[in-house]
Amino acid sequence: FPLQVRPQPWSSLDPEKVKGYLDKFFPTFTKAQNLSIEERIKKMQKFFHLTVTGKLDTETEKILTMPRCGMPDVSE
Amino acid sequence: YETSSGPPKWEKTQLTYKILSYTPDLPRRKVDDAIRRALMVWSDVTPLRFRRVYLRQADIEIIFASGEHGDGYPFDGKGGTLAHAFDPGQGRGGDAHFDEDEKWSEIDQDVNLFLVAAHEFGHSLGLGHSDVQGALMYPIYSYQNPETFRLPADDRRRIQSLYGKKSS
């Protein structure tokens, strides 16, 4: 029998935490509320001048866990 | 947030501040000194002047608090969010809140109060975050020696575009 391929977790971080981070620091405008998580991660990666992949790679995860100011990075 | 007339800013150059509560992590005089020096970072390069008040309401009110603290933006415990501050304006506008669950310090251990306060007061004066790494208004905390701290060019340019340069 072929081995059942399990989907790889996209990150070691809790997806809710990632969404919470994006909601808080990269809030979406009313018109763009249907942006996928991938698009929102790209927006964050662009701000921090990371490689824009839309994926939670190591350098993106690192940013997510760093101590920071509580104000958003993009204007609401 | 930008209004049709540009980003929010104070329409006066004489601003007041008040420290409403203290952290037990540092002696009060050290907190007073860190706050005073953090405000000086901005007054050194602009015509802005800051005066401490004790009784009446101030433009910039400063508190240390944990978790939910009455503004609808609860702190999240140690790590993560260290502090936040509001854009210039009436009431809560200009106020700076520091997370009491952090360990505040005057040196490189834990979180340096002077550096975070200087950043937050940038928001109190109307600056948003900068994407320039090394700028004071970069959103991620990183330590640098407060004794040799100089306001980076990016922050200087941005604050002077709001309030002008300090007259000699």
Q: What is the pLDDT of residues A31-70, one digit of tens each?
A: 666 789 999 999 999 999 999 999 999 999 999 999 999 9
Which pLDDT value is given to residue A76? 52
> For residues B120 and B84, is the Cβ–Cβ distance under 8 A?
yes
ipTM summary value: 0.93
Which pLDDT value is given to residue A3? 64
Q: Is B154 exposed, middle or buried (0-12, 13-18, 19+ CB in 10 A)?
A: middle
Pick among B3, B129, B132 to test the A interface (most A CBs inside 10 A): B129
Q: How many CB atoms lie within 10 A of CB B34?
A: 22
| Single-letter code of the amino acid located at A50 | L
A70·B82 Cβ contact <8 A: yes
Cα angle vertex B166, ends B165, B168, to 5°?
125
Which residue among A48, A65, A69 sits closest to B119, beta carbon to beta carbon?
A: A69
Find chain B residues with C-beta within 8 A of A43's C-beta: none
Contacting residues for A59 by C-beta, under 8 A, at least 6 apart: A50, A51
What does the alpha-carbon distance between residue B77 and residue B46 come to, in Å, rounded to a whole number?
35
B141·A66 Cβ contact <8 A: yes
Find chain A residues with C-beta within 8 A of B120's C-beta: 69
B61 tagged catalytic? no
* Nearest chain B CA: its distance from A8 CA (Å): 27
| Single-letter code of the amino acid located at B61 | E
Place of tokens 């907190």: B31
Which pLDDT value is given to residue B2? 45
Helix or strand holding residue B50 (H, E): strand B49-52
Q: Least CA distance to A63: which residue of chain B?
A: B140
Cα angle vertex B141, ends B136, B145, to 5°?
70
Task: Indicate whether B105 pLDDT > 60.
Answer: yes
Task: Indicate whether B118 pLDDT > 70.
Answer: yes
Q: Does A20 touch chain B (CB under 8 A)?
A: no
Task: Indicate whether B46 pLDDT > 60.
Answer: yes
Residue A29 confidence class, pLDDT cut points 50, 70, 90 = confident
Contacting residues for B73 by C-beta, under 8 A, at least 6 apart: A70, B84, B97
Strands (E), A1-76: 68-69
Which residue among A25, A69, A73 sits closest to B82, beta carbon to beta carbon?
A: A69
Our CA dihedral for A66, A71, A73, A76, rounded to 10 degrees, sits at: 150
Which pLDDT value is given to residue B1? 44
> What are residue B85's phi and psi, to 5 degrees?
-150, 155
Q: Least CA distance to B124: which residue of chain A?
A: A71
Which residue among B1, B84, B131 sits closest to A70, beta carbon to beta carbon?
A: B84
Please tell me whether residue A38 adopts helix, strand or coil conformation.
helix
> What are residue B24's phi and psi, to 5 degrees?
-80, -5
Which pLDDT value is given to residue A11? 61
- DSSP conformation letters of B81-117: EEEEEPPS-STTTT-EEEETTS-EESSSSSEEHHHHH
